[in-house]
Amino acid sequence: STPGNISLQHVWPYSFLLEFDDGAGIKVSPPEHLRKRRDCPLDITDCIPPHQTAARFKVTVQLDPKLTLSAASKLHYVLAIVMCMPKDPSALLAEVPVENVRQSASRMRSILSRRQDEDDLQISGGSDEVDAETRSLRLTCPLSYMRMENPARGRDCSHIQCFDLEWFIRAQKMMGAFNNRWKCAICDTVLRPDAMLIDGYILGILRSTEDSQAEEVFVTKATAEWSVNPPATDEEQSA
């Protein structure tokens, strides 16, 4: 939502036609019967006359004929033409900084000190608490299901799980639903490259467990110290 409680959605009208003076143009056809249309941005580069600093164009819009006059009068569209430069995954990877271990460990201790509530359980898909003092930390990416190489998170995310940065970036290009791109792979928060960082604490764990290829470690809540071995049970301690 925007100020004034105006709800914005990335969607094309029922049909849409953009025509330039030289006859070039681009069209969005009405959705096919019983099929949902994917309303993604359109690349108009080839439609713009070369070597011109300005271009005139005309826009023709048709609203859904099934809409009532009252419903149609409440629809307002804003057309944005944006100049952008594509970047390959390697360039985006280079833009995300590695947070130092001390700051990452401090955040981890802060997250671990919180009691898991319903939101946490919904984010993680279940409790990762092993006991009152320990939580498990997956070293695998939720997108690739493989060990992470560059464990990334949002600067403001409050979950302990990370995702692999390269897999996350590549997933955006493969995602058909444009509106669902650039959202955290864990908590669904909108997440652009400039809002991400590589977690130095988890990166250190990954490097330390490279030989064993461990997929999970166990973290002590109070100190954020970790071990590849789960905590001993009461029976094991008394044996």
Range with lowest mean pLDDT among 2-6, 13-17, 104-108, 206-210: 2-6
125 pLDDT band, cuts 50/70/90, is very low
pLDDT of residue 126: 46
Long-range residue pairs from 221-225, CB within 8 A, at least 24 positions apart, any chain: 221/112, 221/113, 221/133, 221/134, 221/135, 222/109, 222/112, 222/133, 223/109, 224/105, 224/108, 224/109, 224/112
Q: What is the pTM of this model?
A: 0.73
Mean pLDDT taken over the chain: 84
Q: What is the CATH number of domain 89-115+132-227?
A: 3.30.40.10
Q: What is the pLDDT of residues 139-195, one digit of tens each?
A: 999 999 999 999 999 999 989 999 999 999 999 888 877 777 899 999 888 899 999
Does 234 have pLDDT greater than 50? yes
Contacts of 78 (CB under 8 A, 6+ apart): none
Q: Which two tokens stand for residue 78?
A: 């804003």
Under the banding of pLDDT at 50, 70 and 90, the label for residue 109 is: very high
The answer on pLDDT for 236 being more than 70 is: no
Label residue 106 left, alpha or beta by phi (over 0 means left) and psi (-120 to 50 means alpha): alpha
134-138 and 216-220 beta bridge pairing: antiparallel
State residue 12's pLDDT score. Answer: 86
pLDDT of residue 45: 85
Sign of the C-alpha dihedral, residues 74, 75, 81, 82? positive
- Taking the domains of the chain in order of start, what are their residue ranges? 15-73, 89-115+132-227
- In Å, how far from its chain's centre is CA 167? 11
- Percent above pLDDT 90 for the chain: 40
C-beta separation of 218 from 135 below 8 A: yes
Q: What angle do CA 71, 72, 76 make, to 5 degrees?
A: 115
Q: Residues with Cβ < 8 Å from 14, sequence gap 6 or more? A: 30, 31, 62, 63, 64, 65
Q: What does the alpha-carbon distance between residue 211 and residue 200 come to, in Å, rounded to a whole number? A: 19
Strands (E), 44-160: 57-62, 129-131, 134-138, 151-154
Q: Which two tokens stand for residue 129?
A: 């608490």
Rounded Cα distance, 186 and 22, in Å:
47
Query: Cα(16)–Cα(197) distance, rounded to whole angstroms?
Result: 39
pLDDT higher for 7 or 201? 201
Tokens of 82: 């944006």
